[in-house]
Amino acid sequence: MNNADTPLGFIGLGVMGESMASNLVRKSGCLVYIHDLHAEPVQRVAGAGGLACGSVAEVAQAAEIVFLSLPSIVQVEQVCLGPNGLVEASGKVRIVVDMSTSDVARTRQLALRLREHGITLIDAPVARMRQAAKDGTLMITVGGTDEEFRSVEPYLRCMGTDIIHCGATGNGQVVKIMNNMVVFMTVHALAEAITIGRAAGVDGALLLDALSKGSADSFALRNPGQKALAPDTFPEKAFPTEYAIKDILLALELARQGDVDARAAKLTHSLLEQTRGAGFVKEYYPVMVKLVEKGYQ
C-alpha cells in the first residue's frame, strides 16, 4: 500500500514524464508536487491534481520522494547537485528516483554523493513507448537494495506493470541500456530487410506483416517496424535520432568497460551517426532507413 501521508515530487514532464506524473497523481493517493521548465505540461498535470511548483527548490521543500524524468545524467546531476537543486534546497527529500536513462558509472557516483547528504538515489529507468506511459503499462528496471526497492515499488506500480528489481544501484540502468541497444539493432536489421524486400518487388507493409507471423516477430517489428518503417513515417516528438545515439553510446561505453568488442552495436551506432549527419536529428530514429535506401558507408 502507498503511504498517502508521503508527499511526492515529479520533475521533468516531457513526452514520457507528463503521462507518468499524471498516473502518479491519479493513482498514488499522495500529494504530488510537479515541476518542468515548460508551463504547458505543468498546467495539464496540475489539471489532473498535481501541485505546480515554480522551481526544483520548491519541490525539494515539499516532497520526501522525488521522481526525475530528464534527458540525461547531465540534467539529473544538475537537478540534484546544482544551484537551488535538491541538495542545496535542504528540504524534506530523502529519496530520489531517477527514471531517466542515465550513464551507469555517473549514476553510481551520484548515489555516493547524495548519500553524503542523507539522500538515497534509486535508478528506475523506463522501457516501452509513449502509449505505455499514458496507459501506465511501462516496464521499469530498478537498481537499489531490497529495502530501497520496496520503499518505492508501490509508487512505481502507478506508472508501470512490469517492475523488475535488477540488483544494486546502477543495475536498473544497465538492463534498460541493453534493452535499448537490442531494439536499435533490431530496427537496423528491419530497415535493411524492408529495403531489400522493396527492391525485390515486395510491399514493405506486407513483408513486415508476414515477418510478424513468423519467427522474426518482435516488439521492435510490431512497433517501430510496422508503425514507422512500413508507412515511411518518422514524426518528431517520438524518440529522436539524437536520443538513440545517446543511449547506444551508453551501451558501447559499458562494452568498453567490460572489454567486449560489440561489433554489431558499433555498426548500428555508425548508421545512427550518419542519419544525424544527413539532417535527421529530431525525427523518430527508424528514419535510419533513409540512409540504408541511399547506400550508407
Q: Where are the alpha helices (DSSP H) in 157-295?
A: 171-199, 204-212, 219-220, 241-257, 263-277, 289-294
Pair 173, 125: CB distance under 8 Å: yes
- The residues facing 126 across adjacent strands are 140
Parallel/antiparallel/unpaired status of strands 65-68 and 51-52 = unpaired
Q: Are residues 144 and 245 in the same domain?
A: no
**How many domains does the chain fold into?**
2
Q: Are residues 206 and 247 in the same domain?
A: yes
| Catalytic annotation, residues | 176
Q: What pLDDT is recorded for position 237?
A: 82
Evaluate whether residue 1 is within a structural domain: no
Evaluate whether residue 3 is within a structural domain: no
CATH number at residue 88: 3.40.50.720
Q: Are residues 42 and 127 in the same domain?
A: yes
Q: What pLDDT is recorded for position 1?
A: 42
Q: Could you tell me how far CA 264 lies from the centroid of its own chain?
A: 22
Span between the terminal Cα atoms of the chain, in Å: 54
Evaluate whether residue 202 is within a structural domain: yes
Determine how many CB atoms are found less than 10 A away from the CB of residue 38.
10
Q: Are residues 153 and 255 in the same domain?
A: no
Q: In this predicted model, what pLDDT tens digit does every residue of 30-76 receive, in sequence order?
A: 999 999 999 999 999 999 999 999 999 999 999 999 999 999 999 99
Q: Are residues 93 and 32 in the same domain?
A: yes
CATH number at residue 205: 1.10.1040.10
Half-sphere exposure of 110 (CA within 13 A, CB side): 28
Q: Are residues 27 and 157 in the same domain?
A: yes
Of the three residues 122, 137, 168, the one that is the final residue of a domain is 168
Evaluate whether residue 92 is within a structural domain: yes
Buried b vs exposed e over 62-85: b needs ≥16 C-beta within 10 Å?
bbbbbbbbbebbebbbebbeeeeb
Q: In this predicted model, what pLDDT tens digit does every residue of 186-220 receive, in sequence order?
A: 999 999 999 999 999 999 999 999 999 999 999 99
Evaluate whether residue 206 is within a structural domain: yes
pLDDT < 70 stretches in the chain: 1-3, 296-297
Q: Are residues 163 and 69 in the same domain?
A: yes
Q: Are residues 28 and 156 in the same domain?
A: yes
Q: What pLDDT is recorded for position 297?
A: 56
Evaluate whether residue 208 is within a structural domain: yes
Of the three residues 148, 168, 188, the one that is the final residue of a domain is 168
Q: What pLDDT is recorded for position 2?
A: 57
- Helix, coil or strand: residue 96: strand
Evaluate whether residue 2 is within a structural domain: no
Q: What pLDDT is recorded for position 249?
A: 98
Q: Are residues 26 and 147 in the same domain?
A: yes
Q: Are residues 114 and 198 in the same domain?
A: no
Evaluate whether residue 248 is within a structural domain: yes
Q: Are residues 119 and 253 in the same domain?
A: no
Question: What is the extent of the structural domain holding 285?
Answer: 174-294
The residue count for the chain? 297
Q: Are residues 15 and 162 in the same domain?
A: yes
Q: What pLDDT is recorded for position 235?
A: 95
